[in-house]
Structures are given as structure tokens and as C-alpha cells.
Amino acid sequence: MGSFILKLIHPCLSISYALFLTSIIAAPAAMAHDIDVTGVARVFLDEVEENQYQLSIVDQQVPPLFNIERILPERCTGLPPGRFSYRFQCEPELNLDDVLIFPWSLEGLVLITRWADGSDVSGYFPGDGSIIEVPMAQMKAGASSLGNLASRYLVLGGEHILFGADHLLFILGLLLLLQGFWKLLKTITAFTIAHSITLACAVLGIFPVPSAPIEVLIALSIVFLAREILMAQQGKITLVHHKPWIVAFAFGLIHGFGFAGALGELGLSDADIPLALLFFNLGVEVGQVAFICALLALHFIFTKYFKQLWPSLQRGLAYGLGGIASYWFLERIPSLFLV
């Protein structure tokens, strides 16, 4: 490992490689891994009696609501708060036209509503950096349609893959390692099947795994791919180059647990988890396919019009992958020892 990292910072890297590294590292830790679940608030809204409601915030790190009436429709008024909760009443009751506005600069929140008739509805609402809007049309009993659930979790899954730099770099490494359409198809299929399995197992609680070792292993998977790419350029062919789908499946199992971080701690109601999981996974696949198509288009352009530059660019990309992943690996190691 040490000798490989030394190669990654070899002073003979050309200026073009350095520029490549700079452009990627310019957006560092914030993009290093997926949607940060610690930036997602979990909130319960209970209909305690006619026209009266209780708002409970699960996470201690969430900023308090000093004036509950700021987030409510104008016809709603605050009541004396309970312990760890806020109470309010609305005349008339909350309806499909109402919107709750939380003054939080968080990634988003999951609201779980428990209505007086015994029904539960949950949904995820992303923030815009200053507020988080929660339309009651999507939370009233019977109003949470399949179309709404599908659109929300498709978008969440797509954002998860497209803004998760470590997953994208792994896919880039696979494409740099592959030659031929069928190898590409089998390898990407193996990766998709593998991460779908572990994503489902983690979210459904069948086989939960702590996030810290998973993030370390994801970084190592990219380092491994970078090494294999460089070995192939030196004429050293291994089993990984002959049957890359085996490696893609093995590492896909690890990346699936990484994907689960965006859903596993959101606190969705049990009834919503299967469909949310399905559409989230579909969103991940849509984002993955879009990224692969963009890379294939760039590959076509470079091999057709800049054929002489392609070997040097490929080598630069491999060094870039290995350097960034090595940095992530060293950065994530301390989290293994935190309680």
C-alpha cells in the first residue's frame, strides 16, 4: 500500500494531471460521501385531539423552534409546549392547502404524521439551504399517493449517486478498467445487483452494518481499481482484467451499504419503507446510467478526435483516482476508533 501511495504522488506527474487533480479536489469532503444523514432532521407530527397537534423533534442537534407560530399557517396558534415537543391548534384543522415552513439550513427532514384516525404518513422533504417546506397535501391521511412517493425517492436516489463522489469515482474506475461492450454490460450489471442486495438488507434491518468501516472499504475499493488500471497499462494482466464482474459484484456489496446511509436512518414509517426503497434504488440506477452515458460520450470524443492524448489522460485519471481515494482512506481511518 505504501509503495502505491508513493507512486500516486510521484513528482513526474505532468501539468495536465495536476490540473485534473486540482479540479476534482476543489470540491473535497463535502462531496466525499453521499447525503449526510446527520443533516436530516426527524420530526413527528401527532394529531392529539380535534384541531390540536403536537410536533416532536427527535434529533438533539436540530435548532429549537423559539416561535412555533413562525412555521405554522396564519390561523394556527401555539399552545404551552410539552417536554421535548411543541403544541399548537388550528381553526379550522390542518388541510391539504397548508404548508409548514421550518427555518433550518439542513439537508432536509423526514416528517412522520400520526393522525387521529390511526393512519401514519411519512415523507422526505429537502431543504434549500435556509428553509424546509413541508406541504400538508403530501402528509394528510390518504393524500400520500404512489406518484408522490415515487417522485420524491427517485430524486433522492438520483441525487445520492450523482452527488456521491466516491461512488462516481468507483464507476469511473470500472470504465477505465474495461474494454468491450459485453464486459462493460456484465460488470455494471454485477455491480447493480450487488448494491441492490445490500441496500435492501441494510434498510430493512436484515443485515445492518456500521457506516465507518463501510466508508473506509469504499475508499480502498477505489485505490484497488486505480492500481489495477495502472498495472494493465504496464502490461500486467490479472484475473480482475479478465473477469471484472467478480470484483464489481464484491465491491458492489460494500457500496450498497454506503447507499443505505441515505435511507437507513431517516426513520420512515414501516409501511412506506418498501416503496421508498424501490424508488430510491431506481433513482440510483437512473443516476448511474446517466453518469455512464456521459463518460462513454467523452470516451468516444477523446478516442476519435484526441486518440494520441487518450493513453496519457487515462494514466492521469488512474493517478487521480488513487490519490483522492488514498486521501479519503486516511481521512476515514480515525472514525473506526470513535465510539
Q: How confident is the model at residue 269 (pLDDT cuts 50, 70, 90)?
A: low
Q: How confident is the model at residue 262 (pLDDT cuts 50, 70, 90)?
A: low
pLDDT of residue 138: 73
**Using N-to-C axis directions, what is the helix angle for 273-305 and 146-162, rounded to 10°?**
40
d(CA 38, CA 329): 21
Q: Is pLDDT at 10 greater than 80 in this prediction? A: no
Higher pLDDT, 124 or 253: 253
pLDDT of residue 219: 93
Q: What share of the chain is helix, strand, coil (3-state, %, to 5)?
A: 55, 15, 30
Higher pLDDT, 161 or 7: 161
**Using N-to-C axis directions, what is the helix angle for 244-264 and 211-233, rounded to 10°?**
150
Helix (H, G, I), strand (E, B) or coil at 208: coil
d(CA 69, CA 312): 61
Q: Is pLDDT at 53 greater than 60 in this prediction? A: yes
Mean pLDDT of 131-142: 74
Number of Cα atoms under 13 Å in the Cβ half of residue 212: 10
Least confident of 139-153, 279-293, 318-332: 139-153
Across the chain, mean pLDDT equals: 78
Higher pLDDT, 199 or 276: 199
pLDDT of residue 330: 93
pLDDT of residue 145: 55
**Residue 25 is inside which H or E element, if any?**
helix 15-25
Residues 6+ apart with CB under 8 A from 199: 256, 257, 259, 260, 263, 277, 280, 281, 284
pLDDT of residue 325: 94
Higher pLDDT, 244 or 37: 244
**Residue 45 is inside which H or E element, if any?**
strand 40-49
Least confident of 76-85, 165-174, 266-275, 323-332: 266-275
pLDDT of residue 116: 81
Q: Is pLDDT at 25 greater than 60 in this prediction? A: no
Indicate the pTM of the whole model: 0.62
What does the buried/exposed string (b/e) look like for 36-52 if buried means 16 or more CB atoms within 10 Å of the residue's CB? ebebbbbbbbbbeeeee
Q: Is pLDDT at 9 greater than 80 in this prediction? A: no
Mean pLDDT of 90-98: 82
pLDDT of residue 143: 43
Q: Report CA torsion sign: 6, 253, 182, 293.
A: negative
Mean pLDDT of 219-224: 93
d(CA 23, CA 210): 31
Q: Cβ of 1: how many Cβ atoms within 10 Å?
A: 10
Q: How confident is the model at residue 36 (pLDDT cuts 50, 70, 90)?
A: very low
